[in-house]
Amino acid sequence: MTVVKPNLFDYDRQGLRDLFASIGEKPYRADQVMKWMYHRHVTDFGQMTDVGKALREKLSAHVDIVPPKTVFEKQSADGTHKWLLGMDGSNAIETVFIPETSRGTLCVSSQVGCGLNCQFCSTATQGFNRNLSAAEIIGQVWVAARHLGNVPHHQRKLTNVVMMGMGEPLLNFDNVVRAMSVMRDDLGFGLANKRVTLSTAGLVPMIDKLSEASDVSLAVSLHAPNDELRTELVPLNKKYPIAELLGACQRYVAKRPRASITFEYTMMKGINDKPELARQLVKLMRKVPSKVNLIPFNPFTGTRFERSEEEDIRNFQKILLDANVLTTVRRTRGDDIDAACGQLKGQVVDRTRRQAEFRRTLDEGQVDAA
C-alpha cells in the first residue's frame, strides 16, 4: 500500500510547527524549512543546506513538498502569463499573472469548477468538481513566484493576489484561509493584508466568518444594482439578497478602519449597462465605503451575453464618478491567450449535474455549509 506523506504546502506556519513538534523537532526548524520553500523555491530537502543532514533525512522519510504540476503555460504579448496546472489525473485549473507598471497581480483559483452558476461566467458552464486543498491553492502562488524569480522583501514581482479565479472561495473556507495566511506570512510570500483580496459572490454568513478569521481585502461580485436583475445573473442572490449582502459588507468594514469593499460589475450589453442602473448603483454605494470595478464582459463560446459598447461603459462610469463613487474600468488583458477575466477555464470533470444540484442546495439552505 502506498503511504501518502503530508505535503508541507498544506500547512501554515503554526501548522508546520505543530507537524515538526510531532516528529520531535523545534519550531525554528519548521521556520527554516518554510523559508526555503517560499523565499528560495526549494522543494528538495537535500538542498536545504542550513538544515542538518540527520533532519533532512528524517524529513524526506516523513513528509513531502509537492507543488502542482504545470501542464501548460503561455505568455501573452502584453506580458500576461497563464499556467494550466494539473490538480489530479483528470482535472486542471488555470492561474493567471497580470504584470502592470507598479504591481504584479496573480489571479488564483479556489475550487475545481464552480457550482454557483452565475449566468455570465465561463467557469460556471463547467460545473463543480471539488475544493482545492490548501497546498493546491498556495501551490499556484508558488509556481508563479518561482517562474518570476520573486523574492519577498527584496525582488518582489508578485505584489498582489486576488482569489478571483475558478470557484467561490468562501465555500472552501478553511483551505482558503490557511493559504491566505501563508501568502501574508513573512516566512511565506510576505504580502500585506490589503494586497490579498478574496472575491465572493455574496455568501453572507461566510463573510461574517471571514471577518473573524482573516484580515484580507474583500471584493464582491455584484453585477446588478437590484434584486430582480441580480437574482437572474447571480442565482445566489435569491438566498442572500442585496440588502443582506450590503449589511455583511458594512459589518466587514466596520471592524477595519479605512477599509473599503470593491464591487465588481461585469458590463453586459443591454443587460446591466443602462444609465438608470448606474443611478441605482450610486444609491447602493452610499451605504458602504466602496469602489466599483467595471469589467467589460469577455464573451466565450455558447454565451448569450455580449460585451457592452465602450461608450455605454464610459457613460456608466461617468454617472458613478459624478456622484463621487470611485470607479475604475478594468483593462482587458491576455486576450490572445484566453486569460482575460471570466475565461479561467481548465478541464473539469463535472460531478454536480450543476443546475439540479445547485437548486437543491439553495432550496435546502445549505449553500453556506457546502
Known binding-site residues for S-adenosyl-L-methionine equal: 167-168, 199, 221-223, 298
Looking only at Cα atoms, what is the longest distance across the chain? 69
Question: How crowded is residue 355: how many other Cβ atoms within 10 Å of its Cβ?
Answer: 12
Q: Which of 84, 106, 118, 177 binds ligand SF4 (CB under 6 A)?
A: 118
> In terms of CB distance, is 190 or 202 closer to ligand SF4?
202
Q: Rounded CA gap, 162 and 74, in Å? A: 20
Q: How many residues bind ligand SF4 (CB under 6 A)?
A: 12
Among 116, 161, 216, 313, binds ligand SF4 (CB under 6 A): 116
- Of 12, 43, 16, which is closest to residue 145 (Cα–Cα)? 43
DSSP, residue by residue, 320-349:
HHHTT--EEEPPP--GGGT-STT-------
**Contact flag: residue 162 with ligand SF4 (CB under 6 A):** no
In 170-270, DSSP assigns E strands to: 196-200, 217-221, 261-267
Instruction: Phi first, then psi: give them for residue 268, nearest 5 degrees.
Output: -120, 130
The dihedral sign for the CA sequence 11, 15, 16, 21: negative
Which of 121, 144, 246, 292 is in the footprint of ligand SF4 by CB under 6 A? 121
Q: Which residues are catalytic?
A: 94, 341
Which of 167, 188, 190, 296 touches ligand SF4 by CB under 6 A?
Answer: 167
- Least separation in angstroms between residue 194's CB and ligand SF4 is 22
Scanning 7-15, 88-96, 114-122, 358-366 for contacts with ligand SF4 by CB under 6 A, the matching segment is 114-122
**Which of 98, 114, 216, 220 is close enough to bind ligand SF4 by CB under 6 A?**
114
167 vs 188 by CB, closer to ligand SF4: 167
Which stretch in 53-61, 165-173, 207-215, 245-253 sits in contact with ligand SF4 by CB under 6 A? 165-173
Residues 6+ apart with CB under 8 A from 357: 115, 128
352 binds ligand SF4 (CB under 6 A): no
Nearest-5° Cα angle at 156, 154 to 182: 100
State how beta strands 196-200 and 217-221 pair: parallel
Is 221 near ligand SF4 (CB under 6 A)? Answer: yes
- Of 127 and 190, the one with the shorter C-beta distance to ligand SF4 is 127
Binding positions: 114, 118, 121, 167-168, 199, 221-223, 298
- Binding map of ligand SF4 across residues 296-335, x = CB under 6 A, - = no contact: ----------------------------------------
Determine the distance from the C-alpha atom of residue 4 to the mean position of all C-alpha atoms in its chain, rounded to a whole number.
Answer: 27
The C-alpha cell at 196 is 490579498
Closest CA relative to residue 353, chosen from 126, 96, 42, 185: 126
Can you give the binding site for ligand SF4, defined by CB under 6 A?
114, 116-118, 121, 123-124, 166-168, 201, 221
